[in-house]
Structure 1
Amino acid sequence: MALKATIYKVNLNIAEMDQHQYADYALTVALHPSETLERMMIRILAFARYAAEDLQFTQDLFESNEPALWQKDLTGQCLKWIEVGCPDEDKIKKASARCEQVAIICYGNAVETWYQKNSKLKSLRNVEIWQLASSTVAQLEALVQRSMQLQLNTLDGSCHLLSDDGEVEVHWTQLQ
């Protein structure tokens, strides 16, 4: 018998004070049995970074040709393709040809090696790559609950993810 996904409910409040953008999102996030809580929280951070009403979580662990999140227009055309982790270079090249914007949120010890190995990504103009600091990733799991109230505040370039259980300063480094 196959294990089923665990469902998490997230009320996400985003306050991007540098650009005067404020929004609330009620998210339902499925944690795949093979996924870690850390990766799920990074998917939520990726949503927060690129938040839009029509941005959706996908079945990326079930469907290898889907990203972690995507945003499509009313015709089904992909506007944003957002990956979490260190994806295959060919998958990113295909996504770059099909979508207006591709973003990769990398984390872990192998990011530098992955980025050097996939040097062709540097020639793709619509691809941006962000690395989450190890200190940020290590603290994310402490915020997890089945029902979460999260707030992402950004002021003067400093980003903080808050919940009733604590606060994590989010450190992003843009690689591309």
Structure 2
Amino acid sequence: MALNATLHTFNVQLSDIDRGVYEELDLRVAQHPSETAEYMLTRVLAYCLEYEEGIAFSVGGVSSTDEPPVLVRDLTMRLTAWIDVGAPDAARIHRGSKAADRVVIYTHRDPVKVLAQLPAKRIHHAGEIRVYSFDPTFIEDAAAFLQRRNTVSVSISERHLYLDLNGNALSTDIEEHRLS
């Protein structure tokens, strides 16, 4: 018998001072049985940090090979941003770079290891792809506070992330890396 996804709700107060984005978000996020809490939290943070009109979680979820976990479409439904999470392989990044105007990767893993697997591979517009990393202990600590219903405050200032998750305050720098 297959396990079902667990539905989490996130009531988010988003204040991205760097981009001038201030929004209240009501997110419903399905956590696939094979998905770790750390991956799901990174996916939610990527959504918040990339928030713009047209952003959505992919329909296929984390198991989709045709779409990233988070994407942005314009009003004509054209894919404008491919937002991946974790440690996607080079073929997936290459496909995303050809399909969308912009590719971004958010990882809760060691960025040195994530980047080390990619340079020898052929990736379309590799120099334009940004990789952002969170301190793994920050993600682990925050994931411990996840509940089925979450009240979240996300503030970004000078690429520093302040997170209040269910009354627990944490913060970390958002490190930027390039593929080439």
Closer, same or farther: CA 117–156 of 1 in aligned 2, 3 Å: closer
Give the RMSD, CA atoms, in angstroms: 1.8
Q: Distance in 2 between matches of 1:143 and 1:123?
A: 38
Where does the alignment leave 5 or more consecutive residues of structure 2 unmatched? Answer: none
Q: Distance in 1 between matches of 2:128 and 2:161?
A: 24
Matched with 2:93 is 92
The AA in structure 2 aligned to 1:24 is E
Q: How does 1:114-153 map to 2 (within 5 A)?
A: 114-119=114-119, 120=121, 121=123, 123-153=125-155
Tell me the secondary structure at the aligned position of residue 144 of structure 1.
coil
Aligned length: 175
How far did 1:138 drift? 1.9
Whether the 8 Å contact between 2:79 and 2:101 is mirrored in structure 1 is yes
Tell me the secondary structure at the aligned position of residue 143 of structure 1.
coil
Q: Distance in 2 between matches of 1:144 and 1:29?
A: 12
Matched with 1:165 is 167
Closer, same or farther: CA 113–18 of 1 in aligned 2, 3 Å: closer
Q: Distance in 1 between matches of 2:68 and 2:166?
A: 30
What are the Cα deviations for residues 103-149 of structure 1, in whole angstroms up to 9, with x where unaligned?
0012224x313312311559524311112112212212133111111
How far did 1:67 drift? 0.7
Tell me the secondary structure at the aligned position of residue 167 of structure 1.
strand
Tell me the secondary structure at the aligned position of residue 139 of structure 1.
helix
The AA in structure 1 aligned to 2:15 is A
Q: Distance in 2 between matches of 1:94 and 1:156?
A: 31
TM-score, scaled relative to structure 1: 0.90
What are the Cα deviations for residues 42-69 of structure 1, in whole angstroms up to 9, with x where unaligned?
1110011101232111124332222110
Whether the 8 Å contact between 2:41 and 2:143 is mirrored in structure 1 is yes
Tell me the secondary structure at the aligned position of residue 15 of structure 1.
strand
TM-score, scaled relative to structure 2: 0.88
Closer, same or farther: CA 163–107 of 1 in aligned 2, 3 Å: closer
Q: Which moved more, 1:27-36 or 1:14-23?
A: 14-23
Where does the alignment leave 5 or more consecutive residues of structure 1 unmatched? Answer: none
